Amino acid sequence: MSMALVAVMAISCYDDSKVWEKLDSLESQLAELTSQVNSVSTIVSALEKNVYVKAVTEVTGGYEIEFTDGKKVTVKDGKDGADAPEIGAVMDVDGVYYWTLDGEWLLDAAGNKVPAGMGQPKLKTEDGQWYISADGKDWALIGPDVACTIAKVAVADNVVTFTLADGTEIAVPMFIGLDITFSVAEENIYDKSIVSFEYTIVGGTEKNRVAALCSGTNVVVTPTDATTGTITVGPLANADYEVVVWVTDGVSKTIFKTLKYSQGTFKTETTEVVVDFIEGTLTVPVATNIEYVAYVNEGCDWITVPEETKAAEIVTEDVVFNVAENLEMTPRTDTVYIAPKNELYASLTIEIPVTQKGRANKVWSKEVTSYEGYDATQKVRLAKYGDNILLANTTKVYVLDPATGEAVNTIAMPEGVTAHSVLVDDAGNFMIAADAAYGATTTLYLVPDPTNPVPEELLSFDTNNYYCVEAGNFRVKGNVKDDAVVTLTVADGGSGAVIFWEIVDGEFTEVPTDWGPRTWDYVVGPYSGWAVATTCAAPVGTSLADGLFFVGYASDYNLKYKASGAEWVTSYVTGSSWMENYNCIATAEWKGNQYAAIVMGCHFDYDATDAVLLDVNDPTAAKLVYKHAGDGDADWDWTAGVNNSWTADRPQSAATFSDVLLASTEDALLMVYIDNSYGTIGCVAIQ
């Protein structure tokens, strides 16, 4: 039945003219009426045999009735005549329905009433007349007209009522299913003295009731409402138990189900696993005394399962999976399963998500303001000295533990020296320098002993030689006591330039200029005619012939490369727009490959800091190796960073400064990044 039928539905009988318009012949009428009579017989039989109506479905011209014994009948429009005889079925005093004709009992040749549920009367037509017979032997003339057998169908209160043409009503109940489900399997194992599980009744009535009995121990049923509740069994101890549960709808239906409990266990304390990127094994301790099987998701090709499965006493067994090496920078995840072999225990299946680290993993991150005395409004620079990371914050140089980021010491600045830049060359020589505006001189000092800093002037640049807004951001490649290239960048209102020094055999090369001999040279940056600020240039090698990298907060934000005697070319497209800040480049060699790193910072709260690692074996066409997204770097809200909102009193020029460092170690390539806009510093290890 269309279960939306909650109100009375009716099938109206048609008058002679409507029937004759529908039927092509008297034989068709006969077939239709015979079907209707057969439907009445089926309905009466269902009522007498306690068969229920399962469904009532609306069809063209009527309804299809389906019963719980599988029979189906179609109730369609019959024929109505004002004085037409009526075929019906009426219950007699003995409680049995019998066929009637025009209100009188239909009798067979022996004069007996014909039970409606035992069969149907025979109908035929001859010469335009209808005839009826109880046994197919003696035929009685009905006449040229006959009334429809079923006049109306109504559904209400879970009862289907069929009203016949003579007014007789036959009411057949709708089937209301009854079932009960549990939150546990039909067979269970237990490892504690009391077990509890939930039940849910499907179907039934508001009078639903549940009862339970357990062999050898107590059982308590605690209903929540008419359909749900909890069953508690126990105490259980070293035995097998059966729990028989009865449920009744409180009217006419009762069912029962049996649950079995066996002493034992199947569990693990492991909830999730993180494994290293290298090839290895994954071990899951499982306490069990039943047979099990271990498997992984279809399509997972990096976790494999040993063939053997085990059964044992109640012991803890190590289920070992083999894990392949992850050759990618990013982590990957999947799930391992340990399941009882017996499908009845399927609900006990252990599912453990597994994450395998990629070759690049964040080691730590923290708020820079956690360093004592740190000034988040000032410029910052990073360097590696010995086993430590150096963080220069103008008036302080913090010595950081690369494993944790904690400040383990500070280096005092020489008198009169501000550490806008700290540099450590490939030979471990320590240098410091301060930036300078137009009209001043910036000097790079060599500090032989940072613990007792006595600076030695290594080189200087008089900003009068190049009209600039600012000069600084030193970078070095090589050994300043042997062969090396040192760079700084300058910016004016219309373009920028890379100032460079080349050191060969410990001597500065002299480049003749209009101002006479001097120990520096410059190249115009790639953004001629564009306002350039907060830029950085880095030498690719220990000779100028190796070329230069350039990145800045100007124009297209891309990493640029210039070879000796060639024009600037785009090495890497950042895909960034106007709000990112690029003012730092780091380069390093690791395991025979050349790498560069840049930081994608932002002076608004659009996005957190990203650190980008590039393969620059071909410096003209850098390849993205790994991009670290800083959104999850710390527990604080990165949208409420230290300096990442545009306000009138915000120290814009200083707060946009960030830096990045590539530091090669025996085990990893460290990428350390810092961004004063968001007040964050962090370290990623590439292995």
Confidence band (pLDDT; 50, 70, 90) for 224?
A: very high
Confidence band (pLDDT; 50, 70, 90) for 386?
A: very high
- pLDDT of 147 reads 61
- pLDDT of 563 reads 92
* In the predicted structure, residue 632 carries a pLDDT above the cut 60: yes
Contact 674, 656 (CB under 8 A): no
Query: What's the rounded Cα separation, in Å, for the pair 473 and 423?
Result: 10
Q: Could you give the dihedral angle defined by the CA atoms of residues 479, 485, 486 and 492, in that order, rounded to the nearest 10 degrees?
A: -170
Contact 503, 429 (CB under 8 A): no
- pLDDT of 85 reads 67
Confidence band (pLDDT; 50, 70, 90) for 464?
A: confident
Model confidence pLDDT, tens digit, residues 643-663: 766 554 544 444 457 899 999
Query: What's the rounded Cα separation, in Å, for the pair 231 and 223?
Result: 8
- Find the angle CA(242)-CA(243)-CA(246) to the nearest 5 degrees: 140
Per the document, the length of the chain is 687
Q: 12-16, 115-119, 151-155, 386-390: lowest mean pLDDT where?
A: 12-16
Confidence band (pLDDT; 50, 70, 90) for 669?
A: very high
Average pLDDT over residues 161-189: 81
Q: What is the share, in percent, of the chain residues with pLDDT greater than 70? A: 84
Written as six digits, the tokens of 81 are 């005549």
- Find the angle CA(626)-CA(631)-CA(632) to the nearest 5 degrees: 95
- Find the angle CA(222)-CA(225)-CA(226) to the nearest 5 degrees: 110
Tell how many helices (H) and how many strands (E) occur in the chain: 3, 55
Query: What's the rounded Cα separation, in Å, for the pair 248 and 210?
Result: 7
* In the predicted structure, residue 128 carries a pLDDT above the cut 60: yes
* In the predicted structure, residue 684 carries a pLDDT above the cut 90: yes
Which carries the bigger pLDDT value, residue 58 or residue 425? Answer: 425
For the sheet containing 129-133, what is the strand order? 122-126, 129-133, 140-143
Contact 584, 661 (CB under 8 A): no
Residues 257 and 335 in one domain: no
Give which of 388, 597, 383 is closest to 475, Cα–Cα. Answer: 383
Contact 537, 557 (CB under 8 A): no
Question: Is residue 21 included in any domain, yes or no?
Answer: yes
What are the residues whose beta carbons fall under 8 Å from the beta carbon of 20, sequence distance 6 or more?
Answer: none
DSSP letter, residue 592 = T
- pLDDT of 130 reads 73
Model confidence pLDDT, tens digit, residues 579-592: 566 778 999 999 99
Top-confidence range, 32-46, 258-272, 533-547, 551-565: 533-547
Residues 258 and 115 in one domain: no
Give which of 608, 629, 653 is closest to 473, Cα–Cα. Answer: 653
* In the predicted structure, residue 513 carries a pLDDT above the cut 60: no
The backbone torsions φ and ψ at residue 46, rounded to the nearest 5 degrees and listed phi first, read -60, -40
- pLDDT of 21 reads 46
What are the residues whose beta carbons fall under 8 Å from the beta carbon of 542, sequence distance 6 or more?
Answer: 426, 477, 478, 479, 483, 484, 485
Average pLDDT over residues 627-646: 73
**28 to 20, 21, 33, 124, 442: CA distances (angstroms):** 10, 12, 9, 11, 111
* In the predicted structure, residue 82 carries a pLDDT above the cut 50: no
Residues 57 and 183 in one domain: no
- pLDDT of 394 reads 85
Question: Is residue 543 included in any domain, yes or no?
Answer: yes
Residues 462 and 547 in one domain: yes
Average pLDDT over residues 109-135: 76
Question: Is residue 507 included in any domain, yes or no?
Answer: yes
The single-letter code of the amino acid at 291 is E
Top-confidence range, 255-264, 381-390, 469-478: 381-390
Query: What's the rounded Cα separation, in Å, for the pair 54 and 174?
Result: 6
* In the predicted structure, residue 25 carries a pLDDT above the cut 60: no
- pLDDT of 310 reads 56
What are the residues whose beta carbons fall under 8 Å from the beta carbon of 41, sequence distance 6 or more?
Answer: 89, 116, 117, 118, 119, 120
- Which residue is associated with the tokens 């009068």? 464
Out of 358, 376, 401, a domain closes at 358
Confidence band (pLDDT; 50, 70, 90) for 512?
A: low
Give which of 558, 578, 556, 588 is closest to 656, Cα–Cα. Answer: 578
Contact 669, 662 (CB under 8 A): yes
* In the predicted structure, residue 277 carries a pLDDT above the cut 50: yes
Query: What's the rounded Cα separation, in Å, for the pair 134 and 105?
Result: 10
Cis peptide bond upstream of 651, omega within 30: no
Give which of 192, 349, 199 is closest to 259, Cα–Cα. Answer: 199
Q: What is the share, in percent, of the chain residues with pLDDT greater than 90? A: 31
* In the predicted structure, residue 1 carries a pLDDT above the cut 50: no
Question: Is residue 569 included in any domain, yes or no?
Answer: yes
Model confidence pLDDT, tens digit, residues 289-340: 778 889 999 899 999 987 655 555 556 788 999 999 999 998 899 999 998 8
Q: By residue range, what is the domain housing residue 111? A: 8-173
* In the predicted structure, residue 17 carries a pLDDT above the cut 60: no
Pairing of β 62-67 and β 53-59:
antiparallel
- pLDDT of 578 reads 61
Written as six digits, the tokens of 158 are 């879970």
Top-confidence range, 262-266, 315-319, 598-602, 666-670: 666-670
Give how many domains the chain has, as a whole number.
4
Q: Specify the CATH number for the domain of residue 486.
A: 2.120.10.10
Question: Is residue 2 included in any domain, yes or no?
Answer: no
Confidence band (pLDDT; 50, 70, 90) for 671?
A: very high
* In the predicted structure, residue 570 carries a pLDDT above the cut 70: yes
In 425-495, at which residue ranges do the beta strands (DSSP E only) sit? Answer: 430-433, 441-446, 456-462, 470-478, 484-491
**Cβ-based burial of 411 (10 A; exposed 0-12, middle 13-18, buried ≥19):** buried
- pLDDT of 417 reads 81
Average pLDDT over residues 350-371: 91
Contact 594, 587 (CB under 8 A): yes
Contact 404, 397 (CB under 8 A): no
Residues 493 and 526 in one domain: yes
**pLDDT averaged over every residue in the chain:** 81
Query: What's the rounded Cα separation, in Å, for the pair 668 and 664?
Result: 6
* In the predicted structure, residue 482 carries a pLDDT above the cut 90: yes
Residues 379 and 327 in one domain: no
Kindly report the number of other CB atoms within 10 A of residue 623's CB atom: 12
- pLDDT of 143 reads 67
Average pLDDT over residues 504-531: 73
Give which of 378, 372, 350, 10 is closest to 165, Cα–Cα. Answer: 10
Contact 42, 98 (CB under 8 A): no
- Which residue is associated with the tokens 């009391």? 194
Q: Specify the CATH number for the domain of residue 197.
A: 2.60.40.10
DSSP letter, residue 158 = T
- pLDDT of 20 reads 41
Residues 169 and 209 in one domain: no
Question: Is residue 1 included in any domain, yes or no?
Answer: no
Top-confidence range, 259-268, 388-397, 650-659: 388-397
- pLDDT of 511 reads 65
- Find the angle CA(658)-CA(615)-CA(524) to the nearest 5 degrees: 60
Contact 329, 653 (CB under 8 A): no
* In the predicted structure, residue 618 carries a pLDDT above the cut 50: yes
Out of 358, 393, 424, a domain closes at 358
- Which residue is associated with the tokens 């696993």? 273
Out of 201, 236, 263, a domain closes at 263
Question: Is residue 513 included in any domain, yes or no?
Answer: yes
Residues 191 and 275 in one domain: no
The pTM (predicted TM-score) of the whole model is 0.61
Q: 158-172, 226-240, 393-407, 431-445: lowest mean pLDDT where?
A: 158-172
Gyration radius (Cα) of the chain, Å: 45
- H or E element in which residue 132 lies: strand 129-133
Contact 257, 214 (CB under 8 A): no
Residues 349 and 417 in one domain: no
Question: Is residue 648 included in any domain, yes or no?
Answer: yes
Cis peptide bond upstream of 402, omega within 30: no
Residues 388 and 330 in one domain: no
Average pLDDT over residues 210-220: 88
Confidence band (pLDDT; 50, 70, 90) for 356?
A: very high
Beta bridge partners of 187: 260
Query: What's the rounded Cα separation, in Å, for the pair 539 and 550?
Result: 9
3-state SS string for 308-373: CCCCCCCEEEEEEEEECCCCCCCCEEEEEEEEECCHHHHHHCEEEEEEECCCEEEEEEEEHHHCCC
Q: 134-143, 246-255, 284-293, 329-338: lowest mean pLDDT where?
A: 134-143
- pLDDT of 27 reads 65
Q: 151-155, 174-178, 302-306, 656-660: lowest mean pLDDT where?
A: 174-178
Residues 629 and 512 in one domain: yes
- pLDDT of 648 reads 46
Confidence band (pLDDT; 50, 70, 90) for 562?
A: very high
* In the predicted structure, residue 676 carries a pLDDT above the cut 70: yes
Which carries the bigger pLDDT value, residue 686 or residue 518? Answer: 686
* In the predicted structure, residue 80 carries a pLDDT above the cut 50: no
- pLDDT of 588 reads 95
Query: What's the rounded Cα separation, in Å, for the pair 179 and 39?
Result: 30
Top-confidence range, 99-113, 624-638, 664-678: 664-678
Residues 271 and 217 in one domain: no
- Which residue is associated with the tokens 């200083």? 654
Average pLDDT over residues 448-464: 85
